[in-house]
Amino acid sequence: MGSRTLGFRDAIVVWGLRDEGDVGSLFEIGALNLALQANPVEHRFADDKDQHPHLPQTLLKGLPGRIIFRHQSMKYVVLLASLLIQVCLGGLYAWSSLVPSLQSSFGYSMAQCQLVFGVLIGVFTVSMVPAGRLMQRWGPAKVAGIGGLLFGTGYLLASLSNGSFPILFLGIAGLAGAGTGFGYVCPLSTCVRWFPNHRGAVTGLAVAGFGLGAVLLSGLVHLLFEQGLDVLSVLRWTGVTYGALIVVAAGALRNPDSTSSGQAAPGPEPVALTRDPFFAALVLGMFCGTFAGLLVVGNLKPLTLSLGGSYLQAMLSISAFALGNAAGRVTWGWLSDGLGQRGIPLSLACLAASLALLGLAGWWTPGLVAATFLVGFNFGACFVVYAAQVASRFGAEGIGTVYLLVFLAYGAAGVLGPLAGGWIYDATSTYSSALGISLAVVLAGLGGGTWLLARAVREERLQTIPEDAES
């Protein structure tokens, strides 16, 4: 408890410390603020709302609506800015739409093209670790802004490569990959703080843009190629446009006033996490699910062409995967709030079934498009089910600590999955073996993850027995 003069900013901050949705106390503080603006006085206050003095109802007259809804509306501004950032960053899943042009223009092998994509995913995930720590010190706006600058610079550098593989590799896999990591973690962590009662749903909605980004960029790439632009010009356009959009949207990101960016509670120690079967289940499920999904999306266009599909069918497949990815993130996010940890094995089982359908679809257009949509739909579950479970078990702060460690499995899968698909195709001129391997990996994750989750439940029950006995 303390004593000082309250002003307009204090009214918003004090409300932020109270229960979310307590409209009555918001009216009370807004009225208090109006009274103090007219006649500032020393006012003794406490963070406990039960100790806060009640004001005469006459003060509520004339209370402007903008004060009432300012804090509530801000979270939707943050959500929209987060979606825009994720749409721009999600363009990385349109990589396969650039691969044929890179091969024809500069003679890159399929393995080289998938190496760029795989390392991009790896750098993306590794860079999230320092980004998460910086976000706790600097706040989300600065870190996401740095991500936009790195992303744009990386694509610009690649556009100046003139076909030099090392320069293009450094620009796309290195700088743009780091920019993606810096930009991705900020919207995710910030939205969870603004919507603590709907973590799964808001996580799915926030990252749905990442899936939609591939639809948008692949379509734009097709239009730019039709306008006569070469692949380097397309990279330059992407760097300038997307980099600028990310920087602008980053300026709208901020934590709720009740959250201090520099006073985050410490998360569990990494050594302790390695002994936690629940954490192991998250890591295994993330790796196996994203290995299969990234193998498919990284090779989707050449995969479709190798099955006898046309160029149009290949573009439809990319769009179907991206739409499914976005829809899956939203749907699985909504489902995860009710499913809890059961969402992990269920999502892996659905992914395995969709991979089997993709292998059976062949070049038949409706079946191919439907199968790629389903693969994308269930691949999208990996980015909301695990984040929601981390937030549920370790709190919102776990998104910036524990989830980053889980997400490293996605980075490992990003390096191994697309590269394995490209290497197998170079060796066999077919993707059948690659699809079979991806299905086997997902089934292994399903079996191992189910066993680890059951073990975690048993350990939790054993830990509660002594406490129940003592009581």
DSSP string for 296-355: HHHTHHHHHHHTT--HHHHHHHHHHHHHHHHHHHHHHHHHHHHHGGGHHHHHHHHHHHHH
Q: How far apart are CA 297 and CA 117, in angstroms?
A: 10
Checking if the pLDDT of 126 tops 70, the result is yes
The single residue listed with the structure tokens 């549920």 is: 392
Question: Which residue type does 363 have?
Answer: W
Residue 244: the pLDDT is: 95
Which residues, in sequence order, are bridge partners of residue 43?
Answer: 4
Token duo for residue 59: 């003060």
Amino acid at 182: F
How is residue 76 written in tokens? 């939707």
The type of residue at 230 is D
Q: Measured between alpha carbons, how far apart are the two ends of the chain, in Å?
A: 35
pTM of model > 0.85: no
Contact 102, 113 (CB under 8 A): yes
- The amino acid occupying position 165 is F
Distance CA 414, CA 124 (A): 9
Query: Which residues sit opposite 44 in a β-bridge?
Result: 3
Block residue for tokens 């990442």: 210
pLDDT of residue 451: 94
* Residue-by-residue DSSP string for 212-261: HHHHHHHHHHHHHHHTT--HHHHHHHHHHHHHHHHHHHHTT----TT--T
Query: Of 17-26, 182-191, 352-361, where does mean pLDDT reach its minimum?
Result: 17-26
Tell which residue, 316, 333, 321, has the closest CA to residue 295: 321
Domain 70-463, CATH 1.20.1250.20 — does that match? yes
Instruction: Provide the token pair at 270.
Output: 């990494």
Token pair 């356009």 is found at 237
Span 135-158, average pLDDT:
93
Residue 99's closest CA among 90, 109, 91? 109
User: Would you kindly state where each structural domain of the chain is located, as residue ranges?
Assistant: 2-63, 70-463
Q: Inter-axis angle of helices 311-339 and 385-394, to 10 degrees? A: 20
- Phi/psi-derived region of residue 377, left when phi > 0, alpha when psi is between -120 and 50, beta in every other case: alpha
Tokens of 387: 């984040």
User: pLDDT digit string (tens) for 351-409?
Assistant: 999 999 888 876 666 788 888 999 999 998 998 888 888 877 877 666 667 887 888 89
**Residue 312 — very low, low, confident or very high, per pLDDT cuts 50/70/90?**
confident
Cα separation, 254 vs 243, whole angstroms? 19
Give 404-431 pLDDT, tens digit per residue. Answer: 788 889 888 888 888 788 788 778 877 7
Grade residue 152 by pLDDT with cuts at 50, 70 and 90: very high
Token pair, residue 90, equals 């999600």
Q: Which of 27-31, 207-211, 299-303, 336-340 has the lowest mean pLDDT?
A: 27-31
pLDDT, one tens digit per residue, over 79-102 is 889 889 999 998 887 888 898 899
Average pLDDT, the chain: 77
Q: For the ranges 106-115, 287-296, 414-423, which has the lowest average pLDDT?
A: 414-423
Tell me the one-letter amino acid at 270: P
Summarize the confidence of residues 158-170 as an average pLDDT: 94
